Chains A and B, each alone.
Chain A
Amino acid sequence: MANITIDEKVCKGCGLCANACPKNVISLSKHRMNANGYFVAEKVNPQNCIGCAFCAIMCPDCAIEVEK
């Protein structure tokens, strides 16, 4: 069991998290934008998360918390 929480207010939609994720848990939204106009990162396959925190390690904005 593992889970990530993405702070969408802070997310800039750069996609470095999705690129780093080995399990395709994250993808950039094609529809949802935050107040700053960024298409935010969202969990598409949350059940696959292994809690490796690669996404958080690559996130330049400290927008991701990881639980395991």
Chain B
Amino acid sequence: MAKVFTKTKMLTDVHMHYCPGCTHGIVHRLVAESIEELGLQDKAIGIAPVGCAVFAYDYFNCDMQEAAHGRAPAVATGIKRCLPDRLVFVYQGDGDLASIGMAETVHAAARGEHITIIFINNSIYGMTGGQMAPTTLIGQKATTCQNGRDPAVNGYPIRVCELLATLDAPYYIERVSTQDVKHVLAAKKAIKKALRFQAEGRGYSFVEVLVSCPTNWHMKPVEALRFMAEETSRTFPLGVFRDKSEGREEK
């Protein structure tokens, strides 16, 4: 028998700290596998965010910088501009990217920095214990909106892919999900494509990945996958919002 599935060498042996059933770990694997399959391990430099993925620098088997909350795209800009032949990838959650770091997010995209951003959307602040995120769904409960997000009080969730797709510079923008095997395979394709586009010098690439948070959604892991499929992806529709390689400007 031949091995048909083993852990990629682009991940270290450190056991990930994520809660049981949190699909962050899946996305880590997809990013790591993609880098390895593209043969870019010697070029890769990653940026870890603040939030649940803060320890990502322990997991990716390449040089890593840990950025301040929301500042990862600025840090990545600094690295990539100085070392244009490296593969610079950024891993950020929704609080980090779409709340405190929105300015850095939008401007790195508007400048068309040749970086790849992997955006984890689980519609909640996980690390700090389940507060409302900029992506929390209408009606979704969080510790700072305990009766559910009320638009009159809390406003509406931000759709980052759609927002970035209003800019001219981004080369590739796609939203994918980790809700089941089929979607994880599609997510892998998108992530690999995003990294490849960067390596080919095409420009800014952005992949939003819907991820579950069983702990702060107060659901069993399998139930949380269902919630993603039925609820999260209704507010955040999956799809390609920009792919200049296919001449696709707007969805």
**Given A53-B5, A65-B5, A20 contacting B180 (CB threshold 8 A):** yes
Q: Are B5 and A19 in contact (CB under 8 A)?
A: no
Tell me if B86 counts as interface (CB < 8 A to partner A): no
Q: Are A16 and B185 in contact (CB under 8 A)?
A: no
Tell me if A10 counts as interface (CB < 8 A to partner B): yes
Q: Which of B16-24, B97-105, B127-135, B233-241 contacts A (4 or more CB under 8 A)?
A: B16-24
Number of A-B contacts (CB under 8 A): 76
Which chain B residues numbered 164 to 186 have a C-beta less than 8 Å away from chain A?
A: 180-181, 184-185
Q: Are B222 and A68 in contact (CB under 8 A)?
A: no
Contact size class for A? Answer: 20 to 34
Residue in B3, B21, B221 whose CB lies within 8 Å of A66: B3
Contact size class for B? Answer: 20 to 34
Q: Select from chain B the residue with minimum beta-carbon distance to A11.
A: B20
A: residues with CB less than 8 A from B are 1-3, 9-10, 12-16, 19-20, 38, 51, 53-54, 56-62, 64-68
B: residues with CB less than 8 A from A are 1-8, 11, 15-16, 18-26, 29, 180-181, 184-185, 214, 220-222, 225
Could you list 29 A-B pairs, sorted by A, with CB under 8 Å? A1-B1, A3-B1, A9-B15, A12-B21, A13-B20, A14-B21, A14-B221, A15-B220, A16-B23, A20-B180, A51-B4, A53-B4, A57-B26, A58-B26, A58-B180, A58-B181, A59-B25, A59-B26, A60-B21, A60-B26, A61-B15, A61-B16, A64-B5, A65-B5, A65-B7, A66-B5, A67-B3, A67-B4, A68-B1
